[in-house]
Chains A and B, each alone.
Chain A
Amino acid sequence: MTTTMDRPASAPGQSRRSKPLIERLNIFTALALGAISAVVVWQLALHFLPQIPDGQQYFNREDKITLLSMVAWFIGFMTGIGALIAPFRWLMGKDLSHDENMFYAGKDLGVKRYFRFTTDHKVVGIQYLVMTMLIFFIGGTLAMLIRTNLGHPQGGWIHPQAYNSIVGTHGIIMIVGTIIMVTGPFGNFIMPIMIGARDMAFPRLNALSFWLVVAAAIPLIWGQFIGGITTGWTAYNPLASQAPLGMDGYIMFICIFAISTMVAGANITTTVIRMRAKGMTWNRTPIFIYGTVASVALALPAFPVFFLSQVMSAMDRALGTSFYDTTHGGSGWLYENLFWIMGHPEVYVILIPAVAALMEMAPVFSRNPLFSFNVAVLGIAGISGLSVLVWAHHMYMSGWAPLLNAPFMLTTELISIPTGMLFLVLVGTLWRGRLWVTMPMASIFALLWNFMIGGITGIYLSDVPADAFLHGSMYVTAHFHYTLMGAGLTGALASLVYWFPKMTGRMFDKRLSWISFWMVQIGFNVAFMGMFLVGLAGQPRRVEAYAKIFSRGNLITTIGAYVIMAGMLVLLHGVISSWRNGVKAPMNPWQAKTLEWSVPNPIPLENFDVLPMVTADAYGYGKAKS
């Protein structure tokens, strides 16, 4: 066994001689190498790509240049962060030594480990937390721009092209943000400890999945400056093929993010299947784990379909193929099918971990066992399974296959059954419990309220004749905000406050958590309730100006949005101030029974000195328990 280190393996930071490559790479080298590669390839492409002769498709050459230079960014960034070290070491037969692995895990590196390719799942969890907050900050700012513009019927504050791009960017950023908001920070930080493991199955893939998200973000931002994403988050072709160069940013963002999802999916699933503590049978596995695995396992086959749709979009733009161009044998319906085959499972990818997290919190804050664990698992499994069969309900009005509308209506309505099971579990857990009034507990009630509205309005939409009226209107926008934000985000914010003590060693400031909870929930309901009404009155979605009759509803929504914004800023303030000087948390402030609460803060690098033995599930609350 050889190593590439010149000197015997020793503690990093000791070198007076040249530092090994691993120790030199971090986010700064990654950004630098990525930027340099992008610029170099841009120049090379500009000079050496052949000019397009007359009569050929417009924009081909510029798309090629943009895409090539974005790919160069990607390769440069990933090289600069050190993601390629392990594969090339494998190729050369010089595997990483124990000390190198320890270095990778961030041993003794202090704060610097958050800026590197660090494999410790706790570091990755924090990195995801910060990234998610950043994503929501940007997405939220874009939302405020949208709502400010829509506060007045004539719009006019933002140019239509910029407005369309803000809408599209807001959408895709939020979708990605909500996908990672629970499985990213908590699936990574908490999950391995919760199952009694020392780390995840593939620690390097863990770091990779995070840095891929960072790498993906830059093309999206870059895209804003070359025309933006003017198609809405769904990026329908053929509109996307005539959209400006910013679409290439969207395409790259999705392609890179898809790889991240795939890697994270394989990692999380393998970890849960193979690394649960001794005695943690499937019956004793906490429900949050089921939610996390279901989510990533669903994303695993779904996202590649989205990835493919974007590869084809890039080929149409840059090479002149005709996957989506009907004048040359292509079809926009092909795009819709590919997109929604991913798009529908994806909303459950978003929803399930958030609901599962709240199901994990419900017993803790009602001191009651989880009601009917089996039904909870069945509900999650049912939703996941059915979710791959419903996609064309997004296409009822597209005309692609009128005969298939009825079968899809059937499958879509069926999903209400397993969804109802999740309500049963939550309500059953609260029933006859000893309610401990905390922000996570309040979030459960908020979820029930919001998800009820989101779910029932979904039933209207699933009905083909009703959808003929509602599709493409603001009613749809309100519906999915109620489910993804009202239910999903509520679960994520509760998770933040709940697991904050374990992740940071400090309690989240109680007062701030309550203030932000009420502001966000009230602001949210005001904003989106108003939106249902303008949708019913006939306002289409994705419009930057609207008829006067919709004024009042829009004004109400805009006011609600500002309240949400204030609430989220209070939350941000809470995160920062609690992290810096919040009350130091005891090991198990909630007296919960899952394994993550049995490790002290700061958590040792490998979580447990001795791996735990599990003899019961985590829901043994109640005086009369057996």
Chain B
Amino acid sequence: MSLDTQKRPQWWKKKDVKQTFVFWLILTPLLGYFSSTIQIRSIGAPASETMAGVINLIGLFTWVAAPVAALVGAMCLTALLSKRHYGDNPPEEAENEIRNSPRANALWVSVSAVLCLFALVVGLVVFQKDAAALTDKTAMNINVTGQQWVWNYDYENGVRSADLYLPVNQPVIFHVTSKDVKHSFWVVQMGIKIDANPGYVTETAVTPNKIGIFDIRCAELCGLLHAYMQNKVHVVSQADYDAWVKTNATTEAAA
């Protein structure tokens, strides 16, 4: 006997349905708040718009997923709180077994499809923004070379350094390659990453919007000292950046 054949006004009045609804109302904000807060807290402060976007995205997706997870959780709780049977022999068979419910199926699948579409659209919008940053004419260009197990940076003005200095609020495009095996250039708090491949040059772009010292970590296993292939990026004011460039232009660091 499916839900369809029961008297239409009755199903949401059933005790277990009401119970599930209540659970769902409680679980949704709990799950949403807990999961998004703990994740966002773990990430720490963003150092670029891009990273702020990633944080928002994670928060948004978590809140959108919360009702779904809460529904599954609520139904599970209701099932668990009903009379459970213990022992070596099976309990009696269920009263009103439900083999199918075309309505439930259709609803479930269409809601999943809508959520999926939503995730896709949100993702594409942000994706477009990131892609557009790669063609920004006002950006400064820095060549990044990864090799076992260091990063080296070549700046537009001919400066070569093992340190990455960036002026704040200035878009930058990184052109990344490797001298040996695959590495991955991850500027953690700025939320950008691109692999460093031997034989190819790949790009990623970002605009740092906070002054400070942030982390660069290699995100692709590249051999013995992969864990130590880390660096700091110094985001400084334009004036400090120019000063740094001046000092380094005269003493070009060896590769």
Q: Do chains A and B touch in the complex (CB under 8 A)?
A: yes
Footprint of B on A, CB under 8 Å? 155, 160-161, 164, 230-232, 236, 238-239, 242, 326-327, 331-333, 364, 366-375, 397-399, 402, 405-406, 409-410, 413-414, 416-417, 420-421, 423-424, 427-428, 430-437, 445, 448, 452, 456, 459-460, 462-466, 468-469, 471-473, 532-534, 536-538, 540-547, 589-591, 619, 621-625
* Interface size, chain B (Cβ < 8 Å): 95
Contact (Cβ within 8 A) A471 B226: no
B182: interface (CB < 8 Å): yes
Contact (Cβ within 8 A) A434 B112: no
- Chain A, residue nearest B111 (CB): A420
Instruction: Scan B65-101; emit 1 where CB is below 8 A from any A CB, else 0.
Output: 1001100110110111011111011111111111111
Contact (Cβ within 8 A) B197 A432: no
CA distance A242 to B199 in the complex (A): 16
22 residue pairs bridging A and B, Cβ less than 8 Å apart: A236-B221, A398-B182, A409-B124, A413-B116, A413-B120, A427-B75, A430-B79, A432-B96, A448-B72, A456-B61, A466-B123, A469-B188, A471-B193, A537-B43, A537-B44, A540-B219, A545-B227, A621-B94, A621-B97, A622-B95, A622-B97, A623-B94
Contact (Cβ within 8 A) A468 B94: no
CA distance A480 to B82 in the complex (A): 33
**B63 shortest CB reach to chain A, Å:** 11
B108: interface (CB < 8 Å): yes
Contact (Cβ within 8 A) A371 B113: no
Seed contacts A327-B199, A465-B126; 15 additional CB < 8 Å A-B pairs = A238-B181, A326-B199, A331-B199, A366-B79, A399-B202, A432-B95, A460-B61, A464-B130, A465-B53, A465-B127, A465-B191, A468-B193, A468-B204, A469-B191, A542-B226
With contacts A239-B182, A466-B57, A625-B97 known, is A434 near B200, CB below 8 A? no
- Chain A, residue nearest B129 (CB): A465
CA distance A327 to B199 in the complex (A): 7
**Chain B contacts of A366 at CB under 8 A?**
79, 94
**B52 shortest CB reach to chain A, Å:** 11
**A370 shortest CB reach to chain B, Å:** 8
Q: Which of B72, B94, B219 contacts A368 (CB 8 A)?
A: B94
**A51 shortest CB reach to chain B, Å:** 27
CA distance A130 to B20 in the complex (A): 43
Contact (Cβ within 8 A) B92 A367: yes
Footprint of A on B, CB under 8 Å? 1, 16, 38-39, 42-44, 50-51, 53-54, 57-58, 61-62, 65, 68-69, 72-73, 75-76, 78-80, 82-86, 88-101, 104-105, 108-109, 112-113, 115-116, 119-120, 122-124, 126-127, 130-131, 176, 180-182, 184, 186, 188-189, 191-195, 197-200, 202-204, 215, 217-228, 230
Contact (Cβ within 8 A) B182 A236: yes
Contact (Cβ within 8 A) B94 A367: yes
**Chain B contacts of A624 at CB under 8 A?**
1, 95-97
Q: Which of A238, A239, A397 contacts B221 (CB 8 A)?
A: A239
CA distance A472 to B44 in the complex (A): 18
With contacts A160-B227, A436-B91 known, is A420 near B108, CB below 8 A? yes
